Structure 1
Amino acid sequence: MKKSKLILAAVLGLALAMGASAKTFITIGSGGTTGTYYPTAVGIAKIINENLPDVKANAISTGGSVYNAGAIQTGDLQMTMIQNDIAYYAFNGIVVEKFIGKPADKLRGMATIYPEPVHVFARKDSGITSIADFKGKKVYVGDIGSGVEQNAKQVLEAYGLTFDDLGTAVRGKPKQAAQLLQDGRIDAMFYTAGVGSSAIAQAALTTDIVFLPIEFAKIDFLKKKYPFYAEIIIPAGSYKGQDKPFQTVAVKATLAASADLDADVVYQIAKLIFKDKVDQFKAIKPVIAQHFSVDKALDGMPIPLHKGAAKFYEEEGIAIPDAAKPID
């Protein structure tokens, strides 16, 4: 009898071990905690954990899009939020120094979610009235390895400036930058995020700031050289003290996954958040509710889809653009 109990215990232990090993663990990369990527990733992880018992997801704050693409390649992340322009550069091994000759070819698309305007703003008492005035100023240009860094570099290029022309190109987290702006230790900020980002709202609440539009000629330059940019108008009243709309450029927040992630798991996740629980997904942030729809989820998708996501879109009758056709 004792021997039978020992055998039974061993069998049960093996079954439990196999069950544990069968669970898929997914780490979702985002960005700074004050941006829109982090709550979006947290919300996606919550939906997954509440509805897919064989999948365990957690969201982490990261340095942003460039880091996230590299972490997908190394296996430190299995899913991520990422700007569509950085996804394209990373997958193709171009433009961004980190990926030139070393493409993040494990990166696969799942959906584009909402536009991310490039916000440019300065303290009113800085004397800055245009991005052209940034020469010699202390300007936050994004965290090292972030999409913001690339956007800042490209917008400055449109004005004939580089980081070297700034008095100081300030790095770090957006929340820290907002505090520096409030304290008068920097003059201006670049920040690429959905309208209503808490870091920008914090800056507007605590400091008299002026939002700096990108002139139409500069927008044309950016759209021609960097085709992922689109013109966008930030409505008046989006932030405290912003009494008129202003034009800028935007990229698209994109959900991506590793090619190494099981296709059936990715299919289940896509079906869950883009269809079965889409209302819960849209409720994560107002910007998602305003802009996301499954029939437009491949607009601006610049990299091949994960084959699990492709299966979902095919079932929904949604045409997959050539750039997004799966390659696996």
Structure 2
Amino acid sequence: MRMKTLLSVAMLLLLAMVLVACGGGDSEGETDSDSGNEEGAASEGGDSPEFLNLLTGGTSGTYYPLGGEMATIISDETGIQTDAQSSNASADNVIAVQEGDAELAFVQTDVMANAAEGTNAFEGNVVDNVLGLGSLYPETIQIVTSADSGITSVEDLAGKTVSVGAPGSGTYINAEQILEIHGMTMDDIEAQNLDFGESTGGIQDGNIDAAFITAGTPTGAVEGLGATTDVRIVPIAQDKIDALVEQYPYYAADTIPAGTYGGIDEEINTVAVLAMIVVTDSLSEDVVYDITKALYDNVDSITHAKGELITKESALDGIGIDLHPGAEKYFKEEGLLE
């Protein structure tokens, strides 16, 4: 009996030692693992997604080819695979980022201001989860027609068939506001909702008379038209430019240089808004910091003509919404924000 008792005690002691040993091993391994995870998170800048979608615009505009180069820069510099996708541009891009269908997007500054305020195309839908990353370059409002159309002023558009872009798009709002400054509305023209490629194709085929195109110059679709047709860009009179800028401060006077397109042999006075990149607020500060730094530290590698106009020094121009904390951190480090 005594022997059985001693044996039982010995077994219990042995079991206890085994459990303690196992527990100690697990505890030590857990601590090492946790430390490793923390160090990994710090080096990676927080939770990094594997993929990012960058929404651009139509394939015949400026956003798409430029966005392709920027997606490559982000992929190479951050290690996050980033794909540029064609889209219907500004207004649709804002909605897609708002609804979580994309993380990054090209947008006009005026459209993003409307979204943040819940005005125009965003009436009753204040967008508060889409933040600024940085502005890029002026987007020129080009009223394109053929040299033999007889259209030489905005007022001449009355009664003509004119492409104004998709309803709610940046181009559509630009057209609406420019017509307004000239005492006109969409009812004064035969409005067509075409993309840039369809617009210039329509001018070439004689199906439409003119088109509003808001994009960086030179715009691929207009260059394509200029290869077969003498192009005319309708100027905006200085007093109308001044009135537009006073009423809508996100516009700025702009000039299309002579020779930009075939048939244009003198400067054309018009107006511009700015292109910018927006980002979802669901991305971490560190991830957006890395994206911002990747883009603005590597603008010299952009081969698209608009790359010459993109600088970190001008990256805050025209932004009327809050910056993402990651972008804010970058610009503060660069001495561009207090």
Q: Look up the equivalent residue of 1:286 and give its one-letter code.
A: A
Does residue 207 of structure 2 align to residue 199 of structure 1? no
Distance 1:106 1:23, change over 3 A: closer
Q: Quick one: which of 103, 108, 112 aligns to 2:135?
A: 112
Q: Quick one: which of 101, 104, 111 aligns to 1:76?
A: 101
Deviation at 1:174? 0.7
The CA RMSD over aligned residues, in Å, is 1.7
Deviation at 1:121? 2.1
| Contact preservation (8 Å) 2:217, 2:256 | yes
Q: Look up the equivalent residue of 1:262 and give its one-letter code.
A: S
* Separation in structure 2 between the aligned mates of residue 24 and residue 161 of structure 1, nearest angstrom: 49
Alignment of 1:295-314 (within 5 A): 295-314=313-332
| Contact preservation (8 Å) 2:109, 2:319 | yes
* Separation in structure 2 between the aligned mates of residue 48 and residue 78 of structure 1, nearest angstrom: 13
Does residue 289 of structure 2 align to residue 285 of structure 1? no
SS at match of 1:58: strand
Does residue 64 of structure 2 align to residue 38 of structure 1? yes
Q: Quick one: which of 190, 197, 216 aligns to 2:212?
A: 190
How many residue pairs match? The answer is 294
* Match in the other structure for 1:47: 73
| Contact preservation (8 Å) 1:64, 1:145 | no
* Separation in structure 2 between the aligned mates of residue 260 and residue 119 of structure 1, nearest angstrom: 35
Cα offsets for 1:156-196 (capped at 9, x unmatched): 11111111111x21112211111111000000011011111
* Separation in structure 2 between the aligned mates of residue 202 and residue 242 of structure 1, nearest angstrom: 14
Deviates more, 1:36-45 or 1:303-312: 36-45
Q: Look up the equivalent residue of 2:313 and give its one-letter code.
A: D
* Match in the other structure for 2:270: 248
| Contact preservation (8 Å) 1:120, 1:211 | yes
* Separation in structure 1 between the aligned mates of residue 228 and residue 168 of structure 2, nearest angstrom: 28
Q: Which runs of 4+ in 1 moved over 3 A?
A: 21-24
SS at match of 2:151: coil
Deviation at 1:34? 1.1
Q: Quick one: which of 152, 160, 180 aligns to 2:202?
A: 180
Q: Quick one: which of 125, 146, 150 aligns to 1:123?
A: 146
SS at match of 2:59: coil
SS at match of 1:126: coil
Deviation at 1:296? 1.7
* Match in the other structure for 2:16: none
Does residue 226 of structure 2 align to residue 235 of structure 1? no
Deviation at 1:143? 2.5
Deviation at 1:22? 5.7
Q: Look up the equivalent residue of 2:82 and give its one-letter code.
A: A
| Contact preservation (8 Å) 1:144, 1:172 | no
Aligned-pair identity (%): 39
* Separation in structure 2 between the aligned mates of residue 239 and residue 278 of structure 1, nearest angstrom: 25
Deviation at 1:208? 2.4
Cα offsets for 1:255-303 (capped at 9, x unmatched): 111111122111111111111x2321xx2411221x2221221111111
Distance 1:50 1:174, change over 3 A: same
| Contact preservation (8 Å) 1:79, 1:257 | yes
* Separation in structure 2 between the aligned mates of residue 232 and residue 249 of structure 1, nearest angstrom: 5
* Match in the other structure for 1:139: 162
* Separation in structure 1 between the aligned mates of residue 293 and residue 333 of structure 2, nearest angstrom: 10
* Separation in structure 1 between the aligned mates of residue 83 and residue 142 of structure 2, nearest angstrom: 29
Q: Look up the equivalent residue of 2:180 and give its one-letter code.
A: E
SS at match of 1:129: coil
| Contact preservation (8 Å) 2:147, 2:263 | no
* Separation in structure 1 between the aligned mates of residue 137 and residue 92 of structure 2, nearest angstrom: 20
Q: Look up the equivalent residue of 1:137 and give its one-letter code.
A: K
* Separation in structure 2 between the aligned mates of residue 165 and residue 303 of structure 1, nearest angstrom: 33
Distance 1:257 1:22, change over 3 A: closer
* Separation in structure 1 between the aligned mates of residue 234 and residue 149 of structure 2, nearest angstrom: 13
| Contact preservation (8 Å) 1:72, 1:104 | no
Structure 1 spans left out of the alignment, 5+ residues: 1-20, 321-328
TM-score, normalisation: structure 2: 0.83
